[in-house]
Every structure is written in structure tokens, then in C-alpha cells.
């Protein structure tokens, strides 16, 4: 049983598609002045792993052969790709509306995979048009999954990830980190970790979001709003009172953004190469390379270990 259901048995009644292989492992990154660990979310599923599949376990729950979902995202959206890949595992048809944005080589590969899995997926120049179209089409007996899967139901998957991390710390698999660094896009993963760490009794661990999108949607206020909405959902379903999320434990790093969603950060090339040469791990230019750069910029050894939340699985591009 996953840690979320152990902590909240009544949540086990929620429909959940068992798509993950959990827990995802943790590994130390060698040779840094400050101790660095990696949460290998690229190994949390046998197919197209990464952070998105945790939310999809709940967002695709109860669906099966013959059902249809519609979602939305950028032309190179890993969320759209993950939804299509995991929907196919369940026999669920995925539709998607997407919009153009700056592209990098990995984003081009993601877009190519989306075209393969969702033939005829429409790409418009305007995200508002894509969002409105997806919502309108979802009225035709299909389930709507929003950008990044960032709604409280999906965020439960990331709350579970934080509780899973707590167990790994308690079991001695890694030391308690002073901070967890991850990409910050639509904010669902950061919100779930922030809430989950508070529930686990680890509120002192700082959640550091490396911003990868425009401030209008990638910001502290959105993460806190989503975390609190998820807390309300859990309280409503369990009749339990939860600890509040501490805004001071959420920090957003802006200097790795790159200037536009999907635009590669030139300064991330050397850090990404270092990780690949050291541990054989590939990062993507849209999300994980920027977050890894932020990890290496966290230089103070006095704060204790830092944990990099690796959200990208390159096998999504070939499977």
C-alpha cells in the first residue's frame, strides 16, 4: 500500500490507476563540497516515468478501454506525452490541444512522440485558444485533465511522493535534506511536496522551485494556492485536520529561467554534461537541466544536503 493510503486509509477508496513502480530510488551524487542526492523519478514507472505519472495515477483512475481524455499543454509538453503514453496502457484514448512556444532539441523529440501517439493533435499559436478548445471538447463525454495535471486530485500523487521520501529518510536510505530542488512549471509537484513534507512532520525541509515558465503561472502564490486546495480536499475526504503549509519553506529561483518556456538555458549545458558523464543521466533543456543548474548553484555547505528531484525520463522519447 502506498504511504498516502497508509497515512489516510479513507483515501484508498479513490479510483487509482496503478501505473508506478514505487518507491523511486535515491542516489548520492559524488564529489561535491555540499552533499547532493538525487530522487530518481526517472525510474518510478516501467513506462514513461517522471513526475507526471504520479498525478496521472489519480487523474486516470477509474478509466479503461473505450474511454477518452483530453488535455492541453505546449507543443513539447511532457505532460501531454505522459498522458498519452499512460492512457494507452489503460486502453484510454487521449486527445490534446497544444500551443507553440520556444523549442529545444528535447522538446522537438517530445513533440514528435506526441504526434506519433496522438495523430492529428492540433497546435495553435495561442494558449488561450488551446485551453478554451480543450474545455469545450471535454463536454462531449470525455474527462478533462488540465495543464500539468495540476489540480488537487492529481497533486495527491506528489503528496504521496513526499511521504515516500519521509520513509526513505527514516529507513536511512539518505540523510534528511535541507532542501529539495525541482523544476517549477504549473506547480503541482512543488505543491504536493510542500504539503506532503508538512504532513510527514518534515516542514523544515525547504522546497526550492527552479522557475521554467513565465511568472504569471510559475510563482509562489500559485504553488501555495494549489497546496492549500489539496489540503482542503484531503481534509474533506478524511475528516482530519492537517498542518498548514509554511510559505517560508517555499523558495522560487528565477535566474535559471532562460527567458521563455522551452528556451534552453546556455548556462545549463556544462552542469547537464557533468551529470551525464558522472552518472549517465540525461536531462531535458525545458525542465530538469535548469533545476540541476539551480542545485549546483546552492553552494552553502552549512545548510546540509540538497536533494535534486529528477523529473525527466528519456525513455519517454523512444518507448
Q: What is the pLDDT of residues 51-92, one digit of tens each?
A: 999 999 999 999 999 999 999 999 999 999 999 999 999 999
Distance CA(198)–CA(292), nearest Å, equals 24
Phi/psi of residue 185, nearest 5 degrees: -115, -100
Task: From 17, 42, 33, select the one nearest 317 (Cα to Cα).
Answer: 42
Q: Region 226-253: what's the mean pLDDT? A: 97
* Boundary of a domain, candidates 118, 148, 178: 148
Neighbour-count burial of 34, counting CB atoms closer than 10 A to its CB (0-12 exposed, 13-18 middle, 19+ buried)? middle
Grid coordinates in use for 12? 484508498
pLDDT reported for residue 34? 77
Q: Are residues 71 and 163 in the same domain?
A: no
Mean pLDDT of 165-172: 98
Residues 163, 296: one domain?
Answer: yes
CATH number at residue 183: 3.40.50.1100
Report yes or no: 117 and 101 within 8 Å, Cβ to Cβ: no
Cα 188 to Cα 159: distance, rounded to the nearest angstrom: 10
Q: Kindly state the DSSP code that residue 36 receives in the 8-state scheme.
A: E
Structural domain for 138, as ranges: 54-148
Same domain, 81 and 184: no
pLDDT for 302 equals 60
Q: Are both 65 and 165 inside the same structural domain?
A: no
As a whole-number percent, the residues of the chain with pLDDT over 90 amount to: 89
- Whether 185 and 246 map to the same domain: the answer is yes
Is residue 141 pLDDT above 90, yes or no? Answer: no
Does 44 share its domain with 83? no
Grid cell 528556451 is found at: 263
Distance in angstroms (rounded) separating the CA atoms of residues 68 and 46: 23
Residue 31: predicted pLDDT = 75
Tens digits of residue pLDDT in 101-113:
999 999 999 999 9
Q: Report pLDDT for 303.
A: 76
- What is the model's pLDDT at position 147? 94
Q: Is the pLDDT of residue 121 over 90?
A: no
Element at 155 (helix H, strand E) = helix 152-170
Angle at CA of residue 75, ends 49 and 89, nearest 5°: 35
| pLDDT exceeds 90 at position 319 | no
Q: Which of 89, 114, 148 delimits the end of a domain?
A: 148
Name the percent of the chain lying above pLDDT 70: 98
Q: Are 159 and 241 in a shared domain?
A: yes
Whole-angstrom distance, CA of residue 265 vs CA of residue 290? 7
Same domain, yes or no, for 106 and 191?
A: no
- Per the structure, the count of domains in the chain is 2
Using only C-alpha atoms, the chain has a radius of gyration, in whole angstroms, of: 18
d(CA 46, CA 297) in angstroms, rounded, equals 32
Residue 302 shares a structural domain with residue 156: yes
* DSSP-derived 3-state class of residue 69: strand
- 101 and 78 fall within a common domain: yes
**How much is the mean pLDDT over the chain?**
95
pLDDT greater than 80 at residue 238 = yes
pTM of the model: 0.96
Q: Residue 144 has what pLDDT?
A: 95
- The phi, psi pair for 50, rounded to 5°, reads 125, 180
**What is the tens place of the pLDDT at every residue in 2-57?**
999 999 999 999 999 999 999 999 999 997 767 999 999 999 999 999 999 999 99
Q: Maximum distance among all alpha carbons in the chain? A: 56
Q: Could you say which of 114, 130, 148 is where a domain stops?
A: 148
Amino acid at each position: 500500500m502506498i504511504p498516502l493510503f497508509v497515512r489516510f486509509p479513507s483515501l484508498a477508496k479513490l479510483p487509482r490507476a496503478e501505473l508506478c513502480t514505487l518507491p523511486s530510488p535515491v542516489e548520492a551524487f559524488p564529489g561535491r563540497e555540499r552533499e547532493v542526492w538525487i530522487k530518481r523519478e526517472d525510474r518510478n514507472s516501467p513506462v514513461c516515468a517522471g513526475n507526471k505519472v504520479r498525478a496521472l495515477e489519480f487523474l486516470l483512475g477509474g478509466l479503461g478501454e473505450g474511454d477518452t481524455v483530453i488535455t492541453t499543454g505546449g507543443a513539447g509538453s511532457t505532460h501531454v506525452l505522459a498522458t498519452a503514453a499512460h492512457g494507452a496502457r489503460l486502453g484510454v484514448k487521449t486527445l490534446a490541444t497544444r500551443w507553440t512556444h520556444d523549442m529545444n532539441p528535447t522538446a522537438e523529440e517530445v513533440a514528435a512522440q506526441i504526434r506519433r501517439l496522438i495523430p492529428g493533435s492540433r497546435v495553435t499559436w495561442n494558449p488561450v485558444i488551446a485551453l478554451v478548445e480543450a474545455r469545450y471538447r471535454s463536454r462531449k463525454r470525455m474527462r478533462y485533465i488540465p495543464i500539468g495535471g495540476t489540480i488537487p486530485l492529481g497533486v495527491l500523487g506528489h503528496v504521496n511522493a513526499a511521504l515516500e521520501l519521509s520513509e526513505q529518510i527514516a529507513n536511512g536510505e539518505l540523510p534528511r535534506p535541507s532542501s529539495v530542488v525541482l523544476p517549477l512549471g504549473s506547480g503541482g509537484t512543488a505543491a504536493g511536496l510542500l504539503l506532503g513534507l508538512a504532513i510527514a512532520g518534515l516542514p523544515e525541509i525547504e522546497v526550492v522551485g527552479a522557475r521554467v515558465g513565465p511568472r504569471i503561472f510559475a510563482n509562489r502564490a500559485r504553488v501555495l494556492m494549489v497546496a492549500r486546495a489539496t489540503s482542503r480536499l484531503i481534509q474533506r475526504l478524511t475528516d482530519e485536520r492537517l498542518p498548514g503549509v509554511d510559505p517560508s519553506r517555499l523558495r522560487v529561483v528565477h535566474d535559471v529561467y532562460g527567458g521563455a518556456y522551452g528556451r534552453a538555458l546556455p548556462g545549463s549545458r556544462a552542469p547537464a554534461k557533468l551529470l551525464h558523464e558522472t552518472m549517465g543521466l540525461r536531462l531535458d533543456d525545458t525542465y530538469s537541466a535548469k533545476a540541476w543548474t539551480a542545485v549546483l548553484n546552492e553552494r552553502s555547505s552549512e545548510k546540509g544536503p540538497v536533494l535534486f528531484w529528477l523529473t525527466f525520463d528519456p525513455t519517454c522519447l523512444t518507448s
